[in-house]
Amino acid sequence: MILTANVSALRRVADSGDDLFILRIPLPSGGYAEISLDTVALNAIVEQAGKIDNVKITIEFTDKTKLSKKDRQLVGDELVFEFIIMAVRKDERITDLRGGKMTVTLQLGLATGEDNNERTIFYRDSEGNVKKSELGIYSRRKNGINSVVTFTFLKF
């Protein structure tokens, strides 16, 4: 899923001093991805975008067939997500949040009998390397109907 955000609007939110900027993006598989950016991260994105009008924020499942054999063995049946913040006309990825935090919450279901602690979420970094999300917290709500995993990035 791709969301295009106007840099001027992001700048106004950053200047307002609000602690968090939250985006909720529907996932093609159902459920949602929610991204919250603190003011420091938001300012970092605005500064790196420069005079560009828009940034694209992308959350998508990674096509595992495009991973190396080593990475496919590492992830097995688990999900691999890719998060991209891109300055649109510069065609440059923004990966350094300059001390700010981006928190991502994904609404994902557990398979019948699957334990929260057995779930691992992987992501691809800016160089395309597969990384295990070490900061993930998986929780169930309402008998697993709204299961979510939340993790925080300082750089991705």
pLDDT band at 145 (very low <50, low <70, confident <90, very high): very low
**pLDDT band of 152, cuts 50, 70, 90:** low
What string of H, E and C letters represents the secondary structure of 4-63?
A: EEEHHHHHHHHHHCCCEEEEEEECCCCCEEEEEEEHHHHHHHHHHHCCCCEEEEEEEECC
What are the tens digits of pLDDT across the range 18-44?
766 677 777 666 677 788 888 898 899
DSSP SS3 for 74: helix
The answer, yes or no, to whether residue 138 has pLDDT greater than 70, is no
Read off the tokens for 13: 């939110």
pLDDT, position 44: 92
Residue 13 lies in domain: 2-153
- Check: CB of residue 122 under 8 Å from CB of residue 133: yes
What's the predicted TM-score (pTM) here? 0.73
The more confident residue out of 151 and 83 is 83
Q: Is the CB of residue 27 less than 8 Å from the CB of residue 59? A: yes
Domain count of the fold of the chain: 1
Nearest to 81 by CA among 21, 139, 153: 153
